[in-house]
C-alpha cells in the first residue's frame, strides 16, 4: 500500500469514527465507555494522519 493510500485509509477511518461518535452521542443513554474508546482511537488516527502529513511535506532549510 502506498503512503498516500495509507493516509487516505487513515482519514477514512477517522471520519467513520467521527460519525460513529456523533451517532452514539445522539442516543438517549450513550455508552460512555464505548464513547471514550472511540474518541481514543480517533485521536490516535488523527495523530498518525498528522505525522504522515508532516513527513510528506518537504522540510524548509533555514
Domain segments of the chain: what residues?
Answer: 3-53
Contact 52, 13 (CB under 8 A): no
Is residue 62 scored above 60 in pLDDT?
A: no
Contact 42, 4 (CB under 8 A): no
At residue 3, the pLDDT reads 86
Contact 13, 5 (CB under 8 A): no
The C-alpha atoms of residue 38 and residue 30 are separated, in whole angstroms, by 12
**C-alpha count within 13 angstroms, C-beta hemisphere, residue 21:** 15
Instruction: Please give the grid coordinates belonging to residue 19.
Output: 460519525
pLDDT in tens, 23-36: 999 999 999 999 99
In the structure, what pLDDT confidence band is assigned to residue 58 with cuts at 50, 70 and 90? low
Amino acid at each position: 500500500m502506498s503512503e498516500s493510500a495509507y493516509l487516505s485509509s487513515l482519514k477514512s477511518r477517522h471520519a467513520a469514527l467521527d460519525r460513529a461518535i456523533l451517532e452514539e452521542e445522539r442516543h438517549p443513554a450513550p455508552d460512555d465507555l464505548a464513547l471514550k474508546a472511540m474518541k481514543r482511537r480517533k485521536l490516535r488516527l488523527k495523530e498518525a494522519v498528522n505525522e504522515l502529513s508532516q513527513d510528506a511535506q518537504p522540510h524548509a532549510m533555514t
